[in-house]
Amino acid sequence: MQGRWGGGPAKWWHGEFRGCGYRITIPRQIILQVLDESKEHLSAEDIYLKVHNIYPAIGLTTVYRTLELLINMGLVFKFDFGDGRARYELSRGAKEPSHHHHLICTKCGRIIDYTDFVDEELELIKKTEKELSKKYNFEIKNHTIQFYGLCDECSDKEK
Ligand SMILES: [Zn+2]
Ligand SMILES: [Zn+2]
Ligand SMILES: [Zn+2]
């Protein structure tokens, strides 16, 4: 398993593993790589199929278990976009800016990732995080934000 998955430049998650005391096993490395290269919000089955192509020895159970570990480490976010399948995404990416919020159409399931935040949005989040950490003595490291509604196409059809 040298080459594409074994070597290459160190990714940001290598440091996170060192910090947690977990080993970067091949399944962990490949799952992170698949998430890193994906532009979509993958379900566990999607991830399994992609990983399986590269590394056929992996089973679905390992994929689920690895995802849970990566979520606990804060490397991966798990989302429920309301279509009954959990979706996974890296908490940050190689390409900046990767931090984004979601607009989710509850009718067609379209998910819009946006990074062009409204000014008030950033201000509100910064303020809210500051107040929350004070109030609960809680160190906030990240957040996810989802807005649910109808996309332009779906709201057109409703009229
Ligand atoms: Zn944000
Ligand atoms: Zn829609
Ligand atoms: Zn997203």
Q: How far is the CA of 149 from the centre of ligand 2 (A)?
A: 8
CATH architecture for residues 99-159: 2-Layer Sandwich (3.30)
CA of 149 to the centre of ligand 1 (A): 19
Q: Where in the chain is the domain with CATH 3.30.1490.190?
A: 99-159
**Cα→Cα distances 1→5, 8, 25, 129, Å:** 6, 12, 11, 42
pLDDT score for 18: 85
| CATH 1.10.10.10 domain extents, the chain | 1-93
Residues lower than pLDDT 70 in the chain: 1-9, 93-97, 159
pTM: 0.77
Q: Which class is 1-93 in CATH?
A: mainly alpha
Which percentage of the chain shows pLDDT scores above 90? 58
Using the mean position of ligand 1's atoms as its centre, give its distance from the Cα of residue 100 in Å: 6
Query: In the prediction, which pLDDT does 95 show?
Result: 54
How many other CB atoms are found less than 10 A from the CB of residue 18? 11
Show the tokens assigned to 5. 């998955």
Q: Of 35, 37, 13, give the one whose Cα is nearest residue 25.
A: 13
Q: Which ligand is nearest to the CA of 156?
A: 2
Distance between Cα 119 and ligand 3 center (Å): 20
The confidence score (pLDDT) of residue 3 equals 43
